[in-house]
Structure 1
Amino acid sequence: MVLTGRSALVTGASRGIGRAVASALALAGARVFLLARSATDLRALAAQLGALASAHPCDVTDAAHVDAVMAQLFEQTGGSLDILVNNAGTFPLASIADTPPALFEQTLAANLAAPFRLLHAVLPAMRAHGRGHVVTMGSAADRRIFGGNGAYSASKFGARALHEVLREECAGSGIRTTLVSPAATDTPIWDPVDPDNTPGFPPRASMLHPDDVADAVIWAVTRPPHVNVDELRISRA
């Protein structure tokens, strides 16, 4: 229970990597606030995790909704969160020519603007308390280019840049920042793609598991306070 007494906010917590990370944080003793759009799945997870978890249905692309939820969480935590895991996102696959501008904008809203909004909300209190840890969920596509990833890669390259600026600005402040960038991970995000039957994609059996990524997050946030894990890139052996 190495995180007993800590509070953590995980976005996209109802399934996939977010669910695994939230579960691992609760198992490590943290009080976990679960954010996702799927209220039913979120509440079922909170019930499974017990008293350390609470469900907060929220569309992270809706600024007013985020502001309301964050005000509620700050009231419950006395104004501060110890850990933010910016995980929620979307994964559209289409060539640039076949990507409508509206879809590009929606992808940036979910994968880049929403993490910025949450970061902007928690950072002042972290600075005031001289501690905190921001984990940004990246991707292999935040450095490597794949066809069909015009919107997704743009958002993830941006998220990596945001992480690197944050690390520069927070150095020496007590606030730690980690980018976790996994290769393809077997989550429901792949269901529309059907990678086992679609050429050019890795089969699910060769992908990482969500728990593999959660293990990396837990390792990063449980290092001694003077140690910052800048970046973790995870691939299947």
Structure 2
Amino acid sequence: MTRNALITGASRGLGRALAGALAADGWRLVLTARGAEDLEKAAAELGHAAVTALPGDVADPGHRDRLAEAAAALGGLDLLVNNASGLGPTPLPKLADYPVRELLDLFSVNVLAPLALLQLTLPGLRARRGAVVNISSDAAVEAYEGWGGYGATKAALDQISNVLAVEEPDVAVWWLDPGEMNTRMLADAIGPGEAGGAPAPETVVPTVLRLLAERPGSGRVVHVNERSE
């Protein structure tokens, strides 16, 4: 049976790397990201793979509806990857100075959008006994100065995942901490020089593929990356 996946934040970083691996394995993909040009380039690099690329913002309800319609047209999802994420204001502010309006926006992207997209696609995931991978962070469980806003959103996503795993026993739910990766987001947070020493997003893909192949019980998964010198 052909397998179907929806990956958000698929134009670069981990989302793009995972899309490449799944396409090479014959998956049909629905990909989304805010940047249309980057998304189209990422989809084109997948060659003749069955890819539907829909640029847009996952915080937009209308865009989420379009993604859900595309997933339903495939017959439902075997995998939903909530990878799209915002960082919040930079330089990263202390909580005492955090603009509440921007924190609300960050929760909208990092917490409410994944939940809403999950709600729309859950019937198909149930029917196909599919899986959900929510991309988390060590900032969800550790106290790092300046990371309070972002970390709070990831902690909330972790708990949503935790409860979902109990409520939906036929759907595998993993919330994955990929560790530091050399991505634009990390560069925005700590600077491109420091971020350049982190492992590439491609190094995390085998962990996701192992989850799909072995289907362990739902739970928090930590991918341990060694920083290069």
TM-score when normalising by structure 2: 0.90
Report the Cα distance in structure 2 between the residues aligned to 1:98 and 1:235, rounded to whole angstroms.
Answer: 32
Identity percentage over the alignment?
Answer: 33
Report the Cα distance in structure 2 between the residues aligned to 1:31 and 1:150, rounded to whole angstroms.
Answer: 37
> 2:61 corresponds to which letter in structure 1?
A
2:168 aligned to which of 170, 174, 183: 170
* 2:175 equivalent in structure 1: 179
Report the Cα distance in structure 2 between the residues aligned to 1:54 and 1:42, rounded to whole angstroms.
Answer: 10
Report the Cα distance in structure 2 between the residues aligned to 1:194 and 1:146, rounded to whole angstroms.
Answer: 12
Report the Cα distance in structure 1 between the residues aligned to 2:180 and 2:101, rounded to whole angstroms.
Answer: 26
Report the Cα distance in structure 2 between the residues aligned to 1:234 and 1:88, rounded to whole angstroms.
Answer: 18
Report the Cα distance in structure 2 between the residues aligned to 1:65 and 1:54, rounded to whole angstroms.
Answer: 14
**CA offsets per residue over residues 58-114 of structure 1, 9 Å max, x none?**
210001221133223312x13x11100000001122111222111101110111011
Report the Cα distance in structure 2 between the residues aligned to 1:165 and 1:35, rounded to whole angstroms.
Answer: 26
* 2:184 equivalent in structure 1: 188
Report the Cα distance in structure 2 between the residues aligned to 1:191 and 1:181, rounded to whole angstroms.
Answer: 18
Report the Cα distance in structure 2 between the residues aligned to 1:118 and 1:152, rounded to whole angstroms.
Answer: 20
Are 1:60 and 2:51 matched, yes or no?
no
1:205: how far off? Answer: 4.7
Report the Cα distance in structure 1 between the residues aligned to 2:96 and 2:218, rounded to whole angstroms.
Answer: 38
Report the Cα distance in structure 2 between the residues aligned to 1:86 and 1:184, rounded to whole angstroms.
Answer: 17
| 88-97 vs 11-20, which moves further | 88-97
| 100-109 vs 21-30, which moves further | 21-30
Correspondences of 1:158-237 after superposition (within 5 Å): 158-171=156-169, 173=170, 175-195=171-191, 203-223=194-214, 227-228=216-217, 230-237=219-226
> 1:191 corresponds to which letter in structure 2?
A
Are 1:119 and 2:118 matched, yes or no?
yes
Instruction: State the superposition RMSD in angstroms.
Output: 1.7
Report the Cα distance in structure 1 between the residues aligned to 2:177 and 2:218, rounded to whole angstroms.
Answer: 12
Is the CA contact (8 Å cut-off) linking 1:206 and 1:236 kept in structure 2?
Answer: no
**CA offsets per residue over residues 129-160 of structure 1, 9 Å max, x none?**
15110011011111112111121011000010
* 2:84 equivalent in structure 1: 88
1:50: how far off? Answer: 2.1
Report the Cα distance in structure 1 between the residues aligned to 2:217 and 2:25, rounded to whole angstroms.
Answer: 19
Where in structure 2 are there 5+ consecutive unaligned residues?
none
Correspondences of 1:68-83 after superposition (within 5 Å): 68-75=66-73, 77-78=74-75, 80-83=76-79
* Distance change (3 Å), C-alpha of 1:13 and 1:85: same
* Distance change (3 Å), C-alpha of 1:229 and 1:41: same
* 1:33 equivalent in structure 2: 30
2:41 aligned to which of 29, 38, 44: 44
| 64-73 vs 13-22, which moves further | 64-73
Report the Cα distance in structure 2 between the residues aligned to 1:214 and 1:158, rounded to whole angstroms.
Answer: 24
Report the Cα distance in structure 2 between the residues aligned to 1:165 and 1:49, rounded to whole angstroms.
Answer: 35
How many matched pairs? 222
| 188-197 vs 178-187, which moves further | 188-197
Is the CA contact (8 Å cut-off) linking 1:85 and 1:134 kept in structure 2?
Answer: yes
1:228: how far off? Answer: 2.8
Is the CA contact (8 Å cut-off) linking 1:220 and 1:229 kept in structure 2?
Answer: no
TM-score when normalising by structure 1: 0.87
* Distance change (3 Å), C-alpha of 1:160 and 1:194: closer
Is the CA contact (8 Å cut-off) linking 2:77 and 2:128 kept in structure 1?
Answer: no
